Structure 1
Amino acid sequence: MLIVSRHKDSLVAGSEVWMVKPEHIDDILRICITSPRYLPEGKRCGAVIATDAELSAGALISTIRSCAVGLDLPPLLAVSIGYPLDAAPPFVLRRNRDLTPTAWPAFASATPCLTGLSETFATGEGEAFLAFIDEELRPALAEHFPIDPDDVTLTGQSFGGLFVLSALVRRPNAFRRYLAVSPSLWWDDGAVLRMAERAAVTFPAPSATVYMCIGELENKARFGAQFAAVKSQLPSAMQKADMMGDMFVMQRLLQPWVGTQFSIEAHVFPEESHESIMGAALSRGLRRLYGNL
């Protein structure tokens, strides 16, 4: 990984932005990094790495910092991965490439009706993105900040939640904690659910804690209303998506791992939608994963 530039953030104290060129991704990524306000001399902290910096960075920083003041969370480095602010095509297309586990042409052809953009973008490069985080970004963070590289939480929402769970079943021991928010497990007719079924009988139980959550308003009726105008243009798997049901299927598929080393929890947040859930998910999910809820 090449750090193309590195500068202090002018809005958030203790924050900086890296522009990096990954080894196996033909793109520039924008990494937002915020150090804990208080860390005793000589101590190392854990880190939370989130996808979709454009959507998650502010909420992640405020949640981690506020909860650390009240001892609801330990001091943590907040890291969000996104794209240059002037990227063209924009992040809403680039994330489709990096957060999805398989190439799915049916979704690519439906992208314009979902985004309002004429461009389409490749999908299915999640393995390269995972390798970047695991093999390139994490060691670089440990080199420049006082973190424990073995104490990392991975989190993301929607396609980000899908990515988190695909990371879990592809590299079960890569991270200590996984927070998957509103995971889009309908992707490619349940590709990650099939991966999970294989992983549970192929890999030994990892030393990891998993928290999945979804809003009670993320249901078929609401999605049907949201996408009514374009429903006929969507892949059938997306039209029939049962996000809440898929989350509990994932929990069941990974039950063979559950024991002293591994735990997985699924939670439904009342009165939250796909668009409103992130604040509650970060607060409740991180506190749960770090044993303070």
Structure 2
Amino acid sequence: MSVTVVAKGQADSGGTRWFDLADSVTGDIRRVFLWVPPVPAPENGWPALWLLDGNAVIGTAVDAMRAQAFWPMGTNIGWGALIAVGYPTDEAYDSFRRSWDLGPPPGQAYPAFHEGGPPVKTGGGAEMARFLQQDVRAFLAEELPLDLSRQSLFGHSFGGLFTLWLLFTQPDTFANWIAASPAITWENGFLQAHLDRFHPTSGAARVHLSAGEWEGAELAPFQRGAPDAAARMVEKTQTRTVQAAENMARALAGRGLHVFYETYSDETHMSVLPMAVNRAIRWAFALTPEALPRLKGVSDAA
């Protein structure tokens, strides 16, 4: 299929290039960041880590790869390509568009982010999934060889929700699934219905789940005593990020998948991001993937 490249350029992160691609169905423009290792491609093509919220994470991912893949005996990390999908903006996020793209269907409508703005809608996850699998892959076929058996997906927050939803609905799309601080309880916990219908035919998929310590039952030290402390505690009782991620890990391990959960000490929902990206690098490009840890360290909290 033909993919329209609207614009392209060089990103300020270790040789990363970016390409603004027009969605072949909707015409919407998304930015794809591409980083390829400075060594010859493997015979079977590159393993690759696909990252959602690309604007926010590509620099961290490139630095992590450059610092570790050249020393495989000390890191167990081999070279691989980085494919990060975001938007044509200099900001870390396009909150309006990611709400639609990363929110699995059916979705809901919410008040505008600012007065006079359009209402915020979720539920465009199927559109985003098609864009990744058809448009981006068609474009990449002209840019570099990929080992389609060694593709991984990373998402944080809404991206983590999207990652789990795609695992449950299209489990053969990626080999490794990394969901950091996933919004599992979002929109009345509709993801549970997808989990209930998820019965993998093999345990080949590897899943890494994580959350920050201060996404549990307590506020971070700097948040305690703040004017919005009470409101934050109410939100915590609704999102239950740590508990939900732990329970999800147990559920997936019970279905025979290679699953690991970990809580990042002294981290909040947003500060987990660099640690989570680095962990995604490890899971995507491990030279001995069989050595990746399996489920342990999950509390008995129900």
TM-score, length basis structure 2: 0.81
**2:248 maps to which residue?**
250
**2:68 maps to which residue?**
67
* CA separation of 1:76 and 1:222: change in aligned 2, threshold 3 A: same
**1:181 maps to which residue?**
180
Query: In the aligned structure 1, how far is the partner of 2:125 from the partner of 2:195?
Result: 15
Secondary structure of 1:69's counterpart equals: coil
Deviations 1:68-113 (A, max 9, x none): 11213211111111111179xx71110000001134436x13x53x
CA positional deviation for 1:16: 1.4
**Kept after mapping to 1: 8 A contact 2:8/2:20:** no
Deviates more, 1:92-101 or 1:62-71: 62-71
Q: Match of 1:96, as an amino acid?
A: S
**1:278 maps to which residue?**
273
CA positional deviation for 1:143: 3.1
**Kept after mapping to 2: 8 A contact 1:251/1:266:** yes
TM-score, length basis structure 1: 0.84
CA RMSD of aligned residues (A): 3.0
Gaps of 5+ in 2: 293-302
**Kept after mapping to 2: 8 A contact 1:138/1:149:** no
Secondary structure of 2:165's counterpart equals: helix
**Kept after mapping to 1: 8 A contact 2:185/2:240:** yes
Structure with a larger share of its residues in helix? 1
Q: Which of 192, 205, 208 is the matching residue for 1:208?
A: 205
Q: Match of 2:22, as an amino acid?
A: K
Query: In the aligned structure 1, how far is the partner of 2:138 from the partner of 2:148?
Result: 7
**Kept after mapping to 1: 8 A contact 2:33/2:85:** yes
Q: Match of 2:98, as an amino acid?
A: R
Q: Which of 83, 89, 97 is the matching residue for 1:85?
A: 89
Q: Match of 2:281, as an amino acid?
A: L
Describe how 1:193-232 pairs up with structure 2 within 5 A. Answer: 193-200=192-199, 203-205=200-202, 207-222=204-219, 228=228, 231=231
**Kept after mapping to 2: 8 A contact 1:151/1:175:** yes
Secondary structure of 1:30's counterpart equals: strand
Deviations 1:230-281 (A, max 9, x none): 959xxx98761101111122123323431xxx31111111111111112111
Query: In the aligned structure 1, how far is the partner of 2:38 from the partner of 2:47?
Result: 13
1:99 maps to 2:96? no
Percent of aligned pairs sharing the same letter = 23
Secondary structure of 2:211's counterpart equals: strand
Query: In the aligned structure 2, how far is the partner of 1:32 from the partner of 1:288?
Result: 20
CA positional deviation for 1:118: 4.1
**2:259 maps to which residue?**
264
* CA separation of 1:241 and 1:42: change in aligned 2, threshold 3 A: closer
Deviates more, 1:163-172 or 1:282-291: 282-291
